[in-house]
């Protein structure tokens, strides 16, 4: 009898728990959606690989079913997903007031609990200003010759090889340059390969959060530990050295650490260095690889891009002189090309925030009807919804960048769509570099690297695709088979004749 009673009690408890999981409490009306399986939520569906360049199937299917805003559960966390430009803009605008930056516990563990993305208020602004010291416009002007020299050196090396895997090669080029500026790291002289640790880290960064030996997540955290051990050792070494002048960013960080009453701690400083090393090269190398793939597939785009950069050479008194900041800023079509590349790349599949209190919002009929007409249930039109305090909200850039109501033929690669468009930051319809007060401080650095690399590439080299180039999203962008090209120097005599005719 007691066994039956206990059994019934267990069944009732489990049933109640499952019901509570699927129907979270809310002082209002939650957006439509599904919370998935207990504990797992819809995490498995979210991480399912896909080869589409369109809005990720996980998002698209739920947009069709529920509308532009819906609820779900990822890695055990209730989340509201927003594909609505107006709500996205509101979320970024209210940073620090109604929302604050948030990422899943696995991300926090990977990037460090004191990383710049997890800090708020004064501390975040303080670190942001430190980063601008390195990546601000004035510093980039001085760095321009180094970026060009690195691109020319690597391109020459690659042209002597039968083929080069572009993603890995550009990642190595950018990492070496950034590591030199940050910590005076020289891969040729160092006894340890710092970048290898980041490669292990990246492979498991956007993976299912299962921390067991052999899993991608486990390898990722092991890579972080090794990289952090190297950075910590370097910090201790620098403290024992007497340097007469500031040579790199690490010197600047050490000066900040030694100031009386500083708010900077060693843990925060090391996490900052780690994040900067990672963020500076991984996303940019993905964007550059995709950019070259687009050029390979679109001859008319390649032609106009080449003409713009050859015109820069043609207008110089000395064609062999280095790029100037004025020349860089004159690359109108290049910036259109970069905008279109990162719009379609959608390297960042989601930007996370957390609601600091219950937030009411309304979805308009107009906004709903901008989606696939007839696919969205009109029962959701003009509905008022609540994001409960403590819930996460995921802003979805791919849905914004591929919205047919804003971008005609959104899957088509068309740099000319940006003609006459001024982009000095994020907007409701373009958030490749984030938005609001957390707009990526490395945006200008990324654009400089891409523009300079493209300048060196199209003016001095031609190439052909050897193999690879297939794209998989898990949900982040990957080239699982690599992207191999064969690079050859252009006939400079022919090029000089062309420039002479143009003049």
440 is in an annotated binding site: yes
Report how far apart, in Å, the C-alpha atoms of 489 and of each of 14, 147, 362, 398, 483 are: 68, 20, 57, 37, 19
DSSP symbols for 73-87 = EETTEEEEEE--HHH
The Cα 356–Cα 341 span in angstroms is 35
The Cα 111–Cα 352 span in angstroms is 15
The Cα 25–Cα 42 span in angstroms is 19
The Cα 30–Cα 386 span in angstroms is 5
472-473 vs 477-478, strand pairing mode: antiparallel
Report how far apart, in Å, the C-alpha atoms of 134 and of each of 50, 252, 426 are: 37, 10, 21
Other CB atoms within 10 Å distance of the CB of residue 98: 18
392-395 vs 77-82, strand pairing mode: parallel
The residues, ordered by sequence, that sit 6+ positions from 270 with a Cβ below 8 Å of its Cβ are 112, 228, 231, 232, 235
The Cα 398–Cα 59 span in angstroms is 9
Dihedral sign of CA atoms 184, 188, 192, 194 in order: positive
The Cα 155–Cα 293 span in angstroms is 16
Binding-site residue set: 440
Binding-site residue set for heme: 440
């Amino acid at each position: 009898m007691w066994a039956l009673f206990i059994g019934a009690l267990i069944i009732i408890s489990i049933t109640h728990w499952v019901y509570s999981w699927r129907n979270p409490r809310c002082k209002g009306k939650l957006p439509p959606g599904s919370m998935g399986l207990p504990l797992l939520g819809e995490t498995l569906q979210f991480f399912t690989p896909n080869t589409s360049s369109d809005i990720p199937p996980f998002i698209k299917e739920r947009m069709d079913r529920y509308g532009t805003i819906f609820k779900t559960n990822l890695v055990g966390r209730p989340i509201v997903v927003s594909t609505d430009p107006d709500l996205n803009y509101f979320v970024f605008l209210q940073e620090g007031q109604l929302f604050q930056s948030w990422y899943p516990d696995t991300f926090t563990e990977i990037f460090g609990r004191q990383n710049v993305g997890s800090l708020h208020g004064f501390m975040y602004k303080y670190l942001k200003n430190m980063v601008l010291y390195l990546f601000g416009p004035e510093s980039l002007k001085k760095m321009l010759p180094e970026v060009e020299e690195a691109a020319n050196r690597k391109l020459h090396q690659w042209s002597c090889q039968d083929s080069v895997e572009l993603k890995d090669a550009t990642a190595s080029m950018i990492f070496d340059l950034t590591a030199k500026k940050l910590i005076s790291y020289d891969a040729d002289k160092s006894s340890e390969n710092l970048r290898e640790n980041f490669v292990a880290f990246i492979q498991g960064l956007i993976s299912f959060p299962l921390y067991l030996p052999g899993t991608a997540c486990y390898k990722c955290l092991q890579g972080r530990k090794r990289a952090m051990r190297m950075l910590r050792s370097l910090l201790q070494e620098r403290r024992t050295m007497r340097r007469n002048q500031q040579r790199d960013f690490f010197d600047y960080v050490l000066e900040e650490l030694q100031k009386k009453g500083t708010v900077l701690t060693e843990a925060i400083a090391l996490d900052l260095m780690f994040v900067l090393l990672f963020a500076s090269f991984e996303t940019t190398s993905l964007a550059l690889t995709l950019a070259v793939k687009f050029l390979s597939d679109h001859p008319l785009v390649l032609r106009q891009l080449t003409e713009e950069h050859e015109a820069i050479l043609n207008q110089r008194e000395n064609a062999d002189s280095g790029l100037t900041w004025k020349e860089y800023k004159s690359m109108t079509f290049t910036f259109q090309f970069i905008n279109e590349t990162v719009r379609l790349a959608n390297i960042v599949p989601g930007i996370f925030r957390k609601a600091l209190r219950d937030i009411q919002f309304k979805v308009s009929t107009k906004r709903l009807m901008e989606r696939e007409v007839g696919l969205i249930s009109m029962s959701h039109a003009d509905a008022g919804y609540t994001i409960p305090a403590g819930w996460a909200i995921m802003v979805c850039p791919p849905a914004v960048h591929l919205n047919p109501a804003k971008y005609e033929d959104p899957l088509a690669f068309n740099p000319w769509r940006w003609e006459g468009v001024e982009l000095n930051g994020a907007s409701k319809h373009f958030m490749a570099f984030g938005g609001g007060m957390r707009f990526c401080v490395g945006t200008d650095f990324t654009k400089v690297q891409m523009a300079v690399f493209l300048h060196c590439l199209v003016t001095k080299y031609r190439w052909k695709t050897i193999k690879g180039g297939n794209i998989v999203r898990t949900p982040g962008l990957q080239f699982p088979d690599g992207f191999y090209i064969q690079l050859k120097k252009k006939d400079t005599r022919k090029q000089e004749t062309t420039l002479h005719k143009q003049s």
